[in-house]
Amino acid sequence: MVATTELARRIKIKTEVSHPHNSAPADDENKAHVEYARDANSAEARSPAELPTVEQTNFNVLYIIADDLRPEIGAFIDPKTRPWLNSAIKTPNLDALAERSLVLRRAYVQVARCNPSRVSIMTSRRPNTTHIVNNDGWFRKVGHGNTFVTIPEYFKMNGYSTLGCGKVFHPKSGVMNPQDQGRSWTKEFFQPKGHYEEDLNISWKAVSINDTMHKPLRDQMSVKHALSYMQYEASRFNTNKSPFFLAVGLKKPHVPYVFPDEFLDLYPIEDIQLPQNDFAPANMPACHWHNSRDTLGYDDLIKAKKNWVINSTLPTNVAIDLRRAYYASVSYIDSLVGTLLAELDKLQLRERTIVAFLSDHGYQLGEHGIWGKDTNFEAATNAPMMLSIPGKTDKRVDSFRMTEMVDLFPTLVDAAGLPPLPQCPQYSEETAVCTEGSSMMPLLQDSSSADPIKWKDRVFSQYPSPDIAKAEYMGYSVRTEKYLYIEWVRCKGEINGVWPQPTFKELYDIDKDINQNRNVVNDSIYANTIVELSQSLRDGWVAALPKLV
């Protein structure tokens, strides 16, 4: 194996720059060449065939990412800290996985939107570095994104077979190659067609088993393909100990909620509750409100929503139907996770495979009158994440420390026994391999230690104002043990050293107001707290890094 600092020093990404009006193929971003210098003083590079081979002790990795899944999982339910979650949710397979995992109970995304969050997760960079804050940009073509090494790409560079299927990156980011074929994967990426989602413009549909046999659902096709990958890779692993990294992206519970009808029966309609707070927080600036266009744009909801403005609500029967369909979608993907894990057991790979399960962000099911993600509120930024690591998490370990999705990349690398990622400098746009997070492996010993580790005490998220032209306001948030603080500034997510004067501010006292129903930023008793939190935003993630040495 190449030593840690040596690996960071040797990796160079050469990109071919083409004129925007030439006739180059649409996937030019994949014409990047990864070179390894033979030593620190040599420019001579090794070919991919000469890349370092993995050791027999390296684990496989099964990476499962859901879409729009808040921690609506039995193992994460806690009415005191997350009262908006459904305590009757049925997720037996994910609950079983949690029993042999590090369960990150307070994991936060860096932006509550599919494309930017997935880019952030896959590169361990924050939106200010990737310059991706919406769904309409492919990171390889924005800024220095063609330089960044992704999670599967790093494992590939270290001798792993890397395979993917489903929604791993964001497939609608405006390019011909939205899943990073060629760079991140050793085999062709499998992208299924969503029959029902693309054929019908409705917000939800329970599909009969007979129908799914003729026209399988998107996630069913992804899992079927993943099983074939696992079976093939298992034979290679058992023969020559060649490990694999398999990413499975599940599209649900993203709208439209399309699922086998058996899962709807798990949730009697009379048991479905309305959200506790279907209204905007008192004193919330209008720029934080989202019009829920992703959900409410379906034909069956256009009439129901009528003139949708702040504090609008859906008719009770419509809101209950949507929440019920979401829960059914969650149980549906739980069953698919069970299928993947059962195959891992059947192939006798569980003890040799790290399993990571996460979502790209949380979700609001009518809380604050919002149906979707797209805010800096807790329901949108808090997402499930758990890691099953053979020999380390044979018994469940719950961590209530605040973590971030940028922490996942260095953790997987650490757990797999690969050369650890170097810490990114504050501005790392031209750095190929580094992390703006921290390995979470120390959290495995944190709960049993008499001397708790000095972990980060604050985490950061951001979101562009969703309904102001050209997203001219960016909402930067910092979450601490007691508070959620947000500043809305005039910029497009590119603050590099000079912090604009905030136009709007929000402060939520989580200890007293767990649902974030009142913005107390103008209450004089919080004046000193606001000064401290505002400085925390300006100090940024570098100042918040764990003090582990």
Distance separating alpha carbons of residues 245 and 58, to the nearest angstrom: 11
Reference 168, options 156, 184, 155; nearest CA is 184
Distance CA 316, CA 514 (A): 24
- Whether residue 268 is preceded by a cis peptide bond, meaning omega within 30 degrees of 0, is no
| CB 156, CB 132: distance < 8 Å | no
Which helix (H) or strand (E) is 489 found in, with range?
strand 483-490
> Residue 265 and residue 310: Cα distance in Å, rounded?
33
Distance CA 5, CA 97 (A): 34
List Cβ neighbours of 62 (8 Å cut-off, separation of 6 or more).
230, 246, 248, 340, 344, 353, 354, 355, 356
Phi-psi region of 293 (alpha: psi -120 to 50; beta: other; left: phi over 0): alpha
Write out the DSSP string of 176-207: S-TT-TTTT-SSPPB----HHHHH---SEEEE
Two tokens, residue 324: 């019920």
Catalytic residue among 131, 170, 195, 368: 170
Q: Residue 441, SS3?
A: coil
Tokens of 307: 């003139």
Q: How far is CA 546 from CA 268, 421, 446, 453, in A?
A: 45, 15, 13, 8
Cα(293)–Cα(280) distance, integer angstroms: 16
Tell me how many helices (H) and strands (E) the chain has: 15, 18
Cβ-Cβ contacts under 8 Å for 296 (sequence gap 6 or more): 302, 304, 305, 308, 371
| Tokens standing for residue 261 | 């009808």
**What whole-number distance in Å separates Cα of residue 159 and Cα of residue 167?**
24
> Catalytic site residue 114?
yes
The 10 Å Cβ neighbour count of residue 126 is 24
The distance in angstroms from the start CA to the end CA of the chain is 24
CA distance 299 to 401: 42
**Strand 45-46 to 33-37 pairing:** antiparallel
- For residue 190, what is the DSSP state? B
Cβ atoms 109, 102 nearer than 8 A: no
* DSSP helix/strand/coil, 237: helix
Question: Mind telling me the catalytic residues?
Answer: 114, 170
